[in-house]
Amino acid sequence: AIIGMFFQDGLTGSAWGDWALYADSPLRFFGGGETTSYKVFDPATELGVQEPVGFWDPLGFAADGDALAFKRRRCVELKHGRISML
């Protein structure tokens, strides 16, 4: 992070000067091109999915693909499980 501060302003994220000056920098990111692609959330790849059952969601709560809702439900499930063990 400190090295990145030499190449860009840490507050605004803008580079010092013209981007053409940084075209040959080995620290420049060259992947992705002009299009931005985001990884689609797949609950079957989350931590805790194990064989032989795999990802188990019989009521289809994770079918919407909402990562934030999935993580919230997972936290609530852990909390309720811990309370029930008291």
pTM attached to this predicted model: 0.51
Q: What does the pLDDT average to over 19-44? A: 66
Given a contact cutoff of 8 angstroms between Cβ atoms, the answer to whether 82 and 74 are in contact is no
- Residue 21 β-bridge partners: none
Within 10 Å of residue 68's Cβ, how many Cβ atoms? 8
Question: Is residue 7 over pLDDT 60?
Answer: no
Given a contact cutoff of 8 angstroms between Cβ atoms, the answer to whether 16 and 9 are in contact is yes
Report residue 24's pLDDT band, with 50, 70 and 90 as the boundaries. low
24 by Cβ neighbours in 10 Å (0-12 / 13-18 / 19+) ranks as: exposed
Q: What is the identity of the amino acid at 74?
A: R
